[in-house]
Structure 1
Amino acid sequence: MRFTAGVLVGLVALALATALFVYWFDYATGVAEASGLGALGYVFLWLAFGANLLLWTVVGLLRLGEDSVRSLTARRRIGAPERTAVEREPDRVLVGAGGSGPLPDTGEDRPEQPQDTAGNAGADEGAPGPADLSIAVVIPAHNEEPVIEAAIGSALRLFDRWDVYVVSDASSDATAEVAARTGVNVLELLNNRGKAGAIEAVIEEFALTDNHDGVLILDADTELHPSYVEGARRQLADPDVAAVAGFVVSEWKPDERSFVGRLISAYRDRLYFMLQYLMRFGQTWRHANVSFIVPGFASVYRTSALREIDINPEGLVIEDFNMTFEVHHKRLGRISMEPGTKAYSQDPFTLRDYYRQVSRWTLGLWQTIRRHKLWPSSFCAALLLYVLEVVLVSLVLLATVLVGAFVALGTFGGEAVLALPFFEEGFTAVTAFLPLTAVLVGLFVPDYMLTCLMAMVRRRPSYLVYGLFFFPIRIIDAFLALRTIPKAWTARSDGRWASPVRVERT
């Protein structure tokens, strides 16, 4: 019944998206021709989907085709191999009952680990395979008591506890105590250094770049998918890969959220899907390698590259943009991303926390661009195209909203509003150029089409309701994208964080 319901939801959402597209495109081009504005309808198409999204979707299709050919060629060359130990199950010890409950702190020393070569049968002697790669897990946390145990539990299902390192950045709650009860390594900082400073401190304290092949940076509100380690090791086995970008999935637990919380989570799910499948997948193609973000929620850096990265430069509010730019600027290797290497992240529960989080993210991007500037490279060319589109689309969206508000005021305000000085003349001129219906249909309908497609892909009919309120969140994003630009050059950040509202995972 669940499968049948999901199929029906998908068909309804697809039919709705198709009907809306036909109606919208016919209306937008009709308005453009009637008003003599020519390509206005196509401008709305660009605003809705974006040139970058269309470009990298095409590149992603090319990558998908190449990957399919490479996989088929490899299978024909070597035949169908027996599944390796790495493919059968993780090569790490399961710690505790399911890896999710608290473990006693026995104080025992780390035992000598026999090298696992089961996943490399038939490989050349001395050639490291995925199973040989040692990865340390770093979990920076500041006042994350409600969620830290779940994050550690997800790591313990895939790693030995002596490979998991929690750094409590001057937490005022019981974050460090909860982490210590699980038996993992815990470093507690007495002074708040911010996330980047905490990561830098724990790497230095435990000499992680000397004792491991890779370092996984895991946010305290994130849980790893069971296949994460297998995918990360497989990608890191390519010596050209400097960093493995995790694939973020919005945690969908509607029963634990208010309507606003569900709205934010649904919007993020749509945003992450488009950015990762339709944009970042193409940007991380081995022939492109222009991804400008290795998300800090759950990503792996090769330690040889990490030694060259300035993790905590002065004046930045977040670390992940800077670390990614360091990889490109210093030519440390390429960034890899595969959809199977995923983890689940907890989105903000309130609009206040959403506003603060997006403000930090956008400010971090502009600060990183200020620090690194531009240099001759395909990476900077792709970055420049993205920045120009973000700024231009944000300006047009905000200007269109202002025009729409002006027209709505004149339409519904009556004679009292039209009698204001110069208002009627301006109203007549604006409505002749861009009527209110054109604004509403031109911008809302294509945005809602994307929501219909997501409802089909995710088989979540509730998205058809939440999607009615997505456009205002896009306006918030556009406002913050522009508002934080001057702050990147006028304000200095110390990287210290204020944790949003957290809900204990069940």
Structure 2
Amino acid sequence: MTLFINWLQFVLSSGAAGPTPLFLWMALGVNLFVWTAIGAVRLGDDGVRALLARRALPERWSAHTIGSETERTPGDARVLVRQQTVAAGGGGGTGSRAVTATGGGGTADGPSAATASAPGAPTRADQISLAVVIPAHNEEPVIDGAIKSALRLFNRWDIYVVSDSSKDATADIAAETGVNVLELLTNRGKAGALEAVIQEFDLTENYDGVVILDADTELDEKYVEGARKQLSDPSVAAVAGFVVAEWKPKERTVVGRLISAYRDRLYWMLQYLLRFGQTWRYTSVAFIVPGFASVYRSSVLKHLEINPKGLVIEDFNMTFEVHHRRLGRISMNPNTKAYCQDPFTIRDYVKQVRRWTLGFWQTVRRHGVWPSMFWFSLFFYILEVVFVALMLLVMVGLALFTLLPALTGGAVLSLGFYAAGYAAVSAVLPLTAIAVGMFVPDYVLTCVMATIRRRPSYLVYGLFFLPMRVVDAYLTLRTIPQAWTANSDGRWSSPTRASGSL
């Protein structure tokens, strides 16, 4: 608070009172304030509903047989492990196939998903059956940790790993754990891998919901309980996982710790201050169900086009599909936490952010605009994101413009046009006002985050968060035209990974 007050006094006393609201907007944003206020209302509403909700949900449970006796595995895929007994002589696919009936992970003789609740009916949370899908491509360092994390919460036969033409031991490691494993012999990308494993194992026919995890995701112990509780509301189409950035400083370089700390702040703000309000039952305008840990109701998943052509990632598209087709609402609560592994290098970070932003603009292009509260909210979000990104880059450009005379010993001021421009800019936005005006509001957020997380080291890494935001801003604007020109096929680009549990 002292830092913020001193910053405000400095900006006002420097004669730059005009841009002060702009600096605040660039640091926080109007959308953040609006959705934080709505989130506060939701918090009260949820509290009242929790006090009043004492009625037991009716039990409605109908039996379905798990698994198909007919072999449908295409020629470019093979099932390494299938947690069921297959009739002798059954087949029809040309790919090789090994069937292993393993126990583990539970005491029943068959898949726990032998039943599925009636579509659209309110269901007791503990009766909701969930399949876990883990698509992976060259994820040898982390796949074992992801499977072990899932095994803490799910039966072995409810976990399905699809290795998308991995060149390493991803498929073999997964097979050794005894979970269901499908190996694709041609690279289809994450969306294609999801589509293949869902079809191969009839997941939408045999489970109430499908959990989609990245190969570096590890679930909190309360994740399943939270997801089932949210899915027990028949109006919920999908549950967005609550992402938490891993924090293992001893296993990361300085750059890796910087990225992890920056992402931790970003995730906290986006989820608590933006997405919490956007996923209120009266709003439901969240534009992303993060693919790292998401749950889709099976009856909804059947109607989604998971793998359309031309998209680099799938999660934005799947979320837009839910809204566009009016299949239900998106739900999110902090009780569905999951931990993700952020990039270790600036190169991988830039590649990942570029994929995310490109995927967002490609999805906007694909679906277009339709009359809805979703698009009303999305329009103002896009407007602000583009404006703030543009202003960040403009401010950086102005800072460099006013810094150049000092770096050249005033030589550039001999140029008439430069001298006139320098005088005009310095009169309104001197270099100190730009530097302090941009940096301090951003750093105040870091101070808040360091206090919440009780991680003093964030105060050091936070000195470099503003340059990270500038990189994000550049990629946000750079990928807009690429969404109409880039030829994307959704294939994987594996980053550097680190093994071990979170």
TM-score, scaled to structure 1: 0.86
Matched-pair identity in %: 65
1:113 Cα offset (Å): 6.1
1:70 Cα offset (Å): 1.8
- C-alpha distance after superposition, 1:34-67 (max 9, x if no partner): 35xx642111111110011111000000000111
Q: Unpaired runs of 5+ in structure 1?
A: 1-17, 82-104, 118-125
CA–CA distance in structure 1, aligned partners of residues 151 and 278 of structure 2: 32
CA–CA distance in structure 2, aligned partners of residues 234 and 330 of structure 1: 24
Q: 1:168 pairs with 139, 163, 172, which one? A: 163
Q: Does 2:385 match 1:390?
A: yes
Structure 2 matches for 1:322-401, cutoff 5 A? 322-401=317-396
Structure 2 matches for 1:398-413, cutoff 5 A? 398-413=393-408
Name the SS of the counterpart of 2:141 in structure 1. Answer: helix
- C-alpha distance after superposition, 1:123-145 (max 9, x if no partner): xxx96311111100000000000
1:415 Cα offset (Å): 3.0
Name the SS of the counterpart of 1:145 in structure 2. Answer: coil
Report what 1:107 is aligned to. Answer: 101
Q: Does 2:158 match 1:158?
A: no
Name the SS of the counterpart of 1:308 in structure 2. Answer: coil
Q: 1:41 pairs with 11, 15, 20, which one? A: 20
Q: 1:259 pairs with 254, 260, 263, which one? A: 254
Structure 2 matches for 1:277-316, cutoff 5 A? 277-316=272-311
Report what 1:228 is aligned to. Answer: 223
Residue 127 to residue 23, structure 1, CA distance change in 2 (3 Å): closer
Q: Which amino acid aligns with 1:329?
A: H
Q: 1:29–1:40: 8 Å Cα contact kept in structure 2?
A: no
Report what 2:30 is aligned to. Answer: 51
Q: 2:114–2:206: 8 Å Cα contact kept in structure 1?
A: no
1:107 Cα offset (Å): 2.8
Q: 2:122–2:233: 8 Å Cα contact kept in structure 1?
A: no
Q: Which amino acid aligns with 1:447?
A: D
Q: Which amino acid aligns with 1:251?
A: E
CA–CA distance in structure 2, aligned partners of residues 154 and 263 of structure 1: 26
CA–CA distance in structure 2, aligned partners of residues 328 and 251 of structure 1: 31
Name the SS of the counterpart of 1:332 in structure 2. Answer: coil
CA–CA distance in structure 1, aligned partners of residues 412 and 155 of structure 2: 69
CA–CA distance in structure 2, aligned partners of residues 459 and 128 of structure 1: 40
CA–CA distance in structure 2, aligned partners of residues 467 and 419 of structure 1: 38
Q: 1:236–1:302: 8 Å Cα contact kept in structure 2?
A: yes
- C-alpha distance after superposition, 1:317-347 (max 9, x if no partner): 0000000000000000000000010100000
Report what 2:7 is aligned to. Answer: 24
Q: Unpaired runs of 5+ in structure 2?
A: 57-98, 116-120
CA–CA distance in structure 1, aligned partners of residues 112 and 500 of structure 2: 35
Report what 2:477 is aligned to. Answer: 482
Greater relative CO (CA pairs within 8 A, separation 6+): 1
Q: 1:455–1:461: 8 Å Cα contact kept in structure 2?
A: yes
1:498 Cα offset (Å): 1.1
Q: 2:165–2:183: 8 Å Cα contact kept in structure 1?
A: yes
CA–CA distance in structure 2, aligned partners of residues 188 and 207 of structure 1: 16
1:417 Cα offset (Å): 3.0
Q: 2:312–2:355: 8 Å Cα contact kept in structure 1?
A: yes
CA–CA distance in structure 1, aligned partners of residues 183 and 140 of structure 2: 14
CA–CA distance in structure 2, aligned partners of residues 201 and 112 of structure 1: 22
Q: 1:292–1:321: 8 Å Cα contact kept in structure 2?
A: yes
Report what 2:177 is aligned to. Answer: 182
TM-score, scaled to structure 2: 0.87
CA–CA distance in structure 2, aligned partners of residues 404 and 113 of structure 1: 62
1:106 Cα offset (Å): 6.1
More helix by share: 1
Q: Does 2:452 match 1:457?
A: yes
Report what 1:68 is aligned to. Answer: 47
1:182 Cα offset (Å): 0.3
Q: 1:116–1:132: 8 Å Cα contact kept in structure 2?
A: no
RMSD value, Cα: 1.8
CA–CA distance in structure 2, aligned partners of residues 264 and 288 of structure 1: 32
Q: 2:142–2:498: 8 Å Cα contact kept in structure 1?
A: yes
CA–CA distance in structure 1, aligned partners of residues 18 and 285 of structure 2: 31
Report what 1:429 is aligned to. Answer: 424
Q: 1:116–1:131: 8 Å Cα contact kept in structure 2?
A: no
- C-alpha distance after superposition, 1:154-182 (max 9, x if no partner): 00111111110000000000000000000
Report what 1:147 is aligned to. Answer: 142
